Amino acid sequence: MNDSVSNVSINVKILFLIIALVVLFQIVISLIPSEDDADVIISVVSFINPLSAAFACFYLVKNSNTHLFRKSFLYFGFGFIAIVLAEITYVVYDLILGLDPYPSIADVFFFALYPFTIIFMLLNIRSVSPHVGNFAKFWMALISVWIVSSFVFVSLQEIGDANFDFYYGLIFISGTAITLSISAYGVKIFQKSPLKRIWLFLMIGIIATTIGDVWYYYLELFGEYDLFHPVNGFWYASYWILFYAILKFKKSSK
């Protein structure tokens, strides 16, 4: 990496705190007597989570001393803004217009998180390792294929014949699988860097996103998703894990 960074510690307790808060939130939501009130709270939280991560990215862009971080986190921030726009669109469809938000234009914004996150990671990875070896390409492809093929196998076992929802979901599963495989490569590349623990935390956040995405598109095959479903917890956890990692990137860039 051309820009110098300082070693930054990661507090693992933060991870358990985030998980505990997500579980607590899911319990509290389930106890709210009014479904309409619960819908509003969930929608607000779903909006605030990615917005917080976006603000953290743009704060780093503005205050970082390293050109690489300013450039890469600008893209990362755009990814979270896309999610904010997706959540707003989803709410407009679902709660205001009373229309089914899946599929809808919101999905375009949801999908945008993948390319923006991939650009963010590749900019950082290439600053350390400009060339990707054939073996690394192989195991990254293996991770992606495993995630996609697992979704295909389990889904087709349940629905029998592939339908629109299956192929539509497959697009997003492929995006999240590629994103996760690149994050795993980033952890490997930075394993001897002061950023190694931050990258590990980053990958954990992306793993949470991947689990949420795969579970969600499986649920949509059967029309079983709603705003109260625990799958939302994986996205909540992901945003706050990534938020913490972004703050640590900021500290490392001083």
Q: How far apart are CA 208 and CA 235, in angstroms?
A: 7
Q: Which of 225, 3, 242, 240 is nearest to 116 (CA)?
A: 242
**Locate tokens 């793993």: which residue?**
207
Residue 32, both tokens: 């709210």
At residue 7, the pLDDT reads: 60
Q: What is the pTM of this model?
A: 0.93
Cis, bond preceding 194 (omega within 30 deg of 0): no
Domain boundaries, the chain: 12-252
Residue 17, both tokens: 């705190």
What backbone torsions phi and psi does residue 253 show, to the nearest 5 degrees? -90, 0
Q: Which of 187, 189, 193, 202 is nearest to 241 (CA)?
A: 202
Residues 6+ away with beta carbon under 8 Å from 142? none
At residue 192, the pLDDT reads: 85
Q: How far apart are CA 143 and CA 149, in angstroms?
A: 10
pLDDT in tens, the chain (254 residues): 444 455 667 888 999 999 999 999 999 999 999 998 999 999 999 999 999 999 999 999 999 888 999 999 999 999 999 999 999 999 999 889 999 999 999 999 999 999 999 999 999 999 998 888 999 999 999 999 999 999 999 999 999 899 999 999 999 999 999 999 999 999 999 998 888 899 999 999 999 999 999 999 999 999 999 889 999 999 999 999 999 999 998 877 65
